[in-house]
Amino acid sequence: MFYELNDEQNSFRKKVREIYEREVSPLVEEYERKETFPVQLFRILGAEHLLCLRCPKEYGGPGLDKVSECIAVEELNRICVGIGAGIMVQGGLATDPILHFGSEELKKKYLSPAVRGEKIGAFALTEPDAGSDASGIRTTALKQGKGYRLNGLKTFITNGTICDFVTVAAYTDPARRGTGINLFVVERDDPGFSVIKKLRKLGNHSSDTAELAFDDCYVPKERMLGEEEGGGLGQLEETLKSGRLTYGARSTGVGQAAFEAILSYAKKTRRQGQPLSKSQAIRFILAEMAMSIEAMRYMTYRGAWLFDQGLASMKDASIVKLFCSESVQSIVQKTMTIQKNSGLRMDNPVQRFLCDGRLSKIPEGTSEIQHLVIAAGLGL
């Protein structure tokens, strides 16, 4: 049973915090303002063995567990959610399907360079008319010769304009709703693959997000994940289960950053001649925020521990995602309430926490979808 992090995991937290503070923190303001991702971080963090953390050592990865991955995700997103998004996709959605369902050839070709930060990965599931409902996608991959022709549009794709390869969900048999899906690895230079445009967003400004097009994009059969047509929906579900647990850590990191900012503000700010921290109302709010963060953290790491034991269900993952993404909304709102007008200034990170935190309710399945998954897990 999970109770708390062990000494090795606590040492790992200290290590990654030091690295992220040194390598990531100095970049945040510049790249949030430029609304671009600092691509040099891929090789920097690759050299520190902080990409694709659960990738086995045989492919160059550190081979860590899910709990350790969540520790790193929390610490990175405590500093910057936008930058955290690109790193999370590299080590999760883009490469997890290749690791678990790809051939040995695909693993060697894509995982090792991704671990080193030499190749950047993306994951393309969401479409203009299909998001949380994966079975509603319209992109097709129809067999032609020794490969497949992909046709369709994908949107809100993290790392979309900077990726070297993208793991794409498409229907090999559109008549089989859901069960007729497969995953393919598309390379940036494949004819028919193009980036339509880069997207501007409410938050996550330093995250590279794009719309992608596949126009008769030919992919050899060897780059399909799995031996047979169909089965992609199950692959997506396993990938999303892991990702939803990761999002618990992401939300916890944002909540921790917001709490640290407002705690410092309350200690040094005076109103009506008294330190703000002496106000009982403010102290109660801060106490509730601290309580929420501890609950988010425990729930996330318990879920990660269950995942490591092979016991986590989709319901467990959705509970973590829903609770943490909803809890962080309350935390950032309370932070803004205490700071009042000061929280609206663009040079104040609190406004960034508010925007970034709001987006946590959408990726990896919206809060509404998490409710449905949990209800189904209850037999309803």
Residues acting as catalytic residues: 364
d(CA 70, CA 185): 26
CB 102, CB 114: distance < 8 Å: no
CB 121, CB 193: distance < 8 Å: no
274-279: list long-range contacts, CB under 8 Å, 24+ apart: 276/338
Strands 209-220 and 193-198: what pairing? Answer: antiparallel
Helix/strand/coil (H/E/C) assignment for every residue in the chain: CCCCCCHHHHHHHHHHHHHHHHHCHHHHHHHHHHCCCCCHHHHHHHHCCCCCCCCCHHHCCCCCCHHHHHHHHHHHHHHCHHHHHHHHHHHCCCCHHHHHHCCHHHHHHHHHHHHHCCCCEEEECCECCECCCHHHCCCEEEEECCEEEEEEEEEEEECCCCCCEEEEEEECCCCCCCCCEEEEEEECCCCCEEEEEECCCCCCCCCCEEEEEEEEEEEEHHHECCCCCCCHHHHHHHHHHHHHHHHHHHHHHHHHHHHHHHHHHHHHCEECCEEHHHCHHHHHHHHHHHHHHHHHHHHHHHHHHHHHCCCCCHHHHHHHHHHHHHHHHHHHHHHHHHHHHHHHCCCCHHHHHHHHHHHCCCCCCCHHHHHHHHHHHCCC
- Phi–psi pair at 27, nearest 5 degrees: -95, -15
d(CA 311, CA 307): 6
Pick the closest to residue 185 from 245, 102, 254 (CA basis): 102
